[in-house]
Amino acid sequence: KQEVTQIPAALSVPEGENLVLNCSFTDSAIYNLQWFRQDPGKGLTSLLLIQSSQREQTSGRLNASLDKSSGRSTLYIAASQPGDSATYLCAVRDYNDYKLSFGAGTTVTVRA
């Protein structure tokens, strides 16, 4: 059974600092990995999707890396802004499955 862990559970940084969010998973036979953002009381917004054959994906200030063999992914957010404050969720789709297995999330607060 796939287990997804996100560390740290919460993070508070001053505006302008770079953010590093970690995700680890127990079964390396994954199909893809998605990073989501969830604002309080809102739905999930997909930020980046990394296929199992890829090492990283980039979108604007966001960069996600994937090391499948070690079961790790990292989401980097450059030059953080107060608008980046949200909960970030990592989710893994296993190779022979359709569902996503989620981590518990990292709640980020960017202080102005």
Partner 1 sequence: DTAVSQTPKYLVTQMGNDKSIKCEQNLGHDTMYWYKQDSKKFLKIMFSYNNKELIINETVPNRFSPKSPDKAHLNLHINSLELGDSAVYFCASSQAGTGINEQYFGPGTRLTVT
Q: Give the interface with partner 1 as residue ranges (CB under 8 A).
A: 31-32, 34, 36, 41-46, 49, 51, 87, 89, 91, 93, 97-102, 104-105
DSSP 55: S
The set of residues, in sequence order, having a beta carbon less than 8 Å from that of 51 and lying 6+ positions away, is 31, 32
Q: How far is the CB of 98 from partner 1 (least distance, A)?
A: 5
Residue closer to partner 1, measured from CB, 33 or 110: 33
- Cα maximum dimension of the chain: 44
26, amino acid identity: T
Q: How far is the CB of 85 from partner 1 (least distance, A)?
A: 15
